[in-house]
Every structure is written in structure tokens, then in C-alpha cells.
Amino acid sequence: MKKGMIVSIVLLAAIALVAPAYAGVTWGNGVVTLGTGGATAKPPATYGLSSNVFLNYSVANSNQDYVLGSCHMSGNRVFGTTNQTTLIYYGTKGTGVSAPSAPSFPSAGASSFGSGWTAL
């Protein structure tokens, strides 16, 4: 489980450093593609997730803001971050749940996800 958690955190940090993609992912697993590419857009980013690792990604404000969540199916935590903060947050989920409540965009001017989320 610790290995899965470390993989999730590393994946969150890596994706948080790239430019926002133009297509969301709702708790995808396996090979996940962020973005759609196109004539004026950067090529999509493709990530191969570890077994039972799930990713949630959504964009807002004309693709200028993003929020990202990740979890391991056998774990009891979900991790999340957004381009509006440098912190990674965690929340709890049921063991065996692959699509927990996704992190949502912080309210205007806030840098955290609100109640139920704790900064690492």
C-alpha cells in the first residue's frame, strides 16, 4: 500500500507541474490521456497508471485552472492538488472504492479544497 501511495503522490506532483490539458478524466485507470491535441494545442499527455490506481482530472476557466485527484483502490485515502496551491491534500475514502468524491475547485481566493481535506 505504501508503494501505491508513493506512486500516487509522485504522479500528482509530476502532473501538477505540466501545463493544463484540455480534456478531463473522471477516475480513469490503466493508460490515461490528458488533453486532445490539435492544430493550436499541445499534444496530449499519456500516463500509464499502476494497477488499481485511479486518476481524476478536471479543468476550468478556459483551461487555465485544473484540479487533480488520485487514489489506489485498496487504500483508504485520496490525494489531490490544484494549480492554485503548491500543497498536496488528502482525504479519506472507503477501501475498495475506485471513484471516491473528487476534489473540487477551491472557492475564489481560497487555496484548499475545504472540509474533509488535510494538507500533507
**Residue boundaries of the structural domains of the chain:** 2-119
Confidence at residue 116, expressed as pLDDT on a 0 to 100 scale: 80
Confidence at residue 113, expressed as pLDDT on a 0 to 100 scale: 74
Confidence at residue 22, expressed as pLDDT on a 0 to 100 scale: 47
Confidence at residue 85, expressed as pLDDT on a 0 to 100 scale: 81
Averaged in consecutive runs of 10 residues, what is the pLDDT profile of the chain (120 residues)? 56 49 70 74 81 85 80 90 85 84 68 76
Q: Can you state the percent helix, strand and coil of the chain, rounding each to 5?
A: 10, 35, 55
Pairing of strands 53-60, 89-92: unpaired
- State the sign of the Cα–Cα–Cα–Cα dihedral 56, 90, 73, 53: positive
